[in-house]
Amino acid sequence: NQAWYPGETVIAGIGQGFWVVTPMQLAHGVATLAAAGVSRQPHLLRATQDGIGDAPVAMATPAAGPSFFRNPANFDAVREGMIAVVNGPTGTARTMGDGFPFLIAGKSGTAERFSRTNEVWQHISQVAIERHQVLFEAFTPADSPRIAAIVALEAGRGGGRDAAPIVRKMMDAWLLDQAQAQVQAPEPGKQAGNR
């Protein structure tokens, strides 16, 4: 029951102000963004299996909708900004991509619970319960995304400082899983286990 002012629409457009989202909604959003605006319905089930010895049957991937980007240059601008967050000299997560074989695009977020102008701000680094709500979202490879991730923390100093390293660990685990899948893949014309 409060008035809505035009300035609130502007700040809501960058995730500030009266903006509420669940981590699942945000993960869906960053996955949609990574896919150049093409949305896919989130799903949890990858495959089913009738019995222990039976082969898994992959579930159909939900159909994709049309891209919400009317102008591809808009997507390119957002992606370049997210690449700069991780790879630019002043990005809020500028060391996150060090040593990673793919280019990562990301965005940090910090919902500040306290003003930077009083003594409480200095206390935040020592007392976790008084820290901000922080998040980091990312996708990689930036030019042809295969994974998107989001981490939201109730108590942190900044999204790039506290949530980004957790996203990096998730991407490292994904990369290790990809490498193991390549090693376990059967050679053309052979079945798995017959090497």
109-131 per-position pLDDT tens digit: 887 766 666 665 555 666 666 67
Examine residue 171 and state whether it is found in any structural domain, yes or no: yes
pLDDT at residue 148 is higher than 80? yes
Residues with Cβ within 8 Å of residue 103, at least 6 apart in sequence: 83, 86, 87, 97, 140, 141, 142, 143
Domain region containing 175: 6-41+58-184
Examine residue 46 and state whether it is found in any structural domain, yes or no: no
The most confident of the ranges 19-23, 126-130, 137-141 is: 137-141
Examine residue 34 and state whether it is found in any structural domain, yes or no: yes
The count of other CB atoms within 10 Å of the CB of residue 51 is 6
Examine residue 113 and state whether it is found in any structural domain, yes or no: yes
Report pLDDT for 118. Answer: 61
Report pLDDT for 111. Answer: 78
If one compares 45 and 187, the residue with the highest pLDDT of the two is: 45
Report pLDDT for 102. Answer: 96
Residues with Cβ within 8 Å of residue 129, at least 6 apart in sequence: 155
Examine residue 146 and state whether it is found in any structural domain, yes or no: yes
Question: Are 14 and 8 spatial neighbours (Cβ–Cβ below 8 Å)?
Answer: no
In the chain, the number of structural domains is 1
Examine residue 96 and state whether it is found in any structural domain, yes or no: yes
Residue type, 126: Q
Full-model pTM: 0.77
If one compares 188 and 90, the residue with the highest pLDDT of the two is: 90
Report pLDDT for 190. Answer: 53
The count of other CB atoms within 10 Å of the CB of residue 150 is 26
Query: Which whole number is the average pLDDT over 17-31?
Result: 85
* Local confidence band at 141 (pLDDT 50, 70, 90 cut-offs): very high
Average pLDDT, the chain: 84
The pLDDT tens digits for 62-107 are 888 888 888 989 889 999 999 999 999 999 999 999 999 999 999 9
* Local confidence band at 187 (pLDDT 50, 70, 90 cut-offs): low
Examine residue 121 and state whether it is found in any structural domain, yes or no: yes
The gap from C-alpha 57 to its chain's centroid, in whole angstroms, comes to 28
Report pLDDT for 125. Answer: 61
Examine residue 116 and state whether it is found in any structural domain, yes or no: yes
Write the CATH number for 100. Answer: 3.40.710.10
Share above pLDDT 70 across residues of the chain, in percent, rounded to a whole number: 85
Report pLDDT for 22. Answer: 86
